[in-house]
Amino acid sequence: METTQSCGCLRWLRVRSPFFSANAWVADGLIQSLESQYPPLATHQRADAIIVLGGCTRSAHSPRPWIEVSEEGDRVLYAAKLYREGKAAQVILSGGRIAWRGGGQSEAQDMAILITTMGVPESALILEPDSQTTYENARQVHQILIQKAIKGPLLLVTSARHMPRSMAIFKKMGMPVIAAPTDFRVTDINENAGFLGFILSLLPEVDALQNTTDVFKEWIGLVTYQLRGWA
């Protein structure tokens, strides 16, 4: 959830500097500053549990025929892949649903429905359906680990740009997490190569604006959490 301060900063960014914030070169550089902090998971790493953070599904409100995934839906897909590769025997799905955004059943429940269709049995799932922020994700999961006597190590699955803030919070609470980032928006291969791609990258575009907005949200969130002693 965004604070009033973060909303104000993001509004200023959109209104006062549209060309800067909507430029693909700028946006990619900003995104990469976060995504490069934690590399992809090494194939040999094992854990006691996989933790998946919410923020990746949309409720099955009419006329949607089923639960839908957002851009961050890779979190659920990647978690299923890790489980099926034998990386851990349990999957903790963490995320509630914000009432003023339409409500519906929790993200943890939605993720559970999705991940079971990908071969993860219900018996392997632990649901945390109440958290609404990254800090609450960590706090609620910490309680589950204590209750279930799960010691770790733990694979933490979330979007690559969200990983620095998430790792800071989970580590602050003493949880032995290993970063398992997914949903990378910037790759080693330039997906807009060629002269036309270069020209188009100079023009303002909605996707670039969204990337820049997400980066500032992460920076503001991390600073806010650090000031509160949460990260």
Q: Does 2 map to a domain?
A: no
Q: Does 173 map to a domain?
A: yes
Those residues with Cβ within 8 angstroms of residue 57's Cβ, 6 or more apart along the chain or in another chain: 67, 68, 69, 70, 73, 76, 107, 110, 111, 114
Q: Does 11 map to a domain?
A: no
Beta pairing, strands 57-58 & 68-69: antiparallel
Looking at the predicted structure, is the pLDDT value of residue 3 above 60? no
Cα–Cα distance for residue pair 77/56, rounded to 1 Å: 10
Q: What is the pLDDT of residues 64-121, one digit of tens each?
A: 999 999 999 999 999 999 999 999 999 999 999 987 667 779 999 999 999 999 999 9
Confidence of residue 1 (pLDDT cuts 50, 70, 90): very low
Highest mean pLDDT out of 10-14, 25-29, 117-121: 117-121
Site of tokens 């299923």: 80
Q: What CATH number is associated with residue 71?
A: 3.40.50.620
Q: Does 41 map to a domain?
A: yes
Q: Is pLDDT larger for residue 169 or for residue 6?
A: 169
Looking at the predicted structure, is the pLDDT value of residue 170 above 90? yes
Q: Does 51 map to a domain?
A: yes
Determine the structural domain holding residue 155 and report its residue range: 16-226
Domain count, the chain: 1
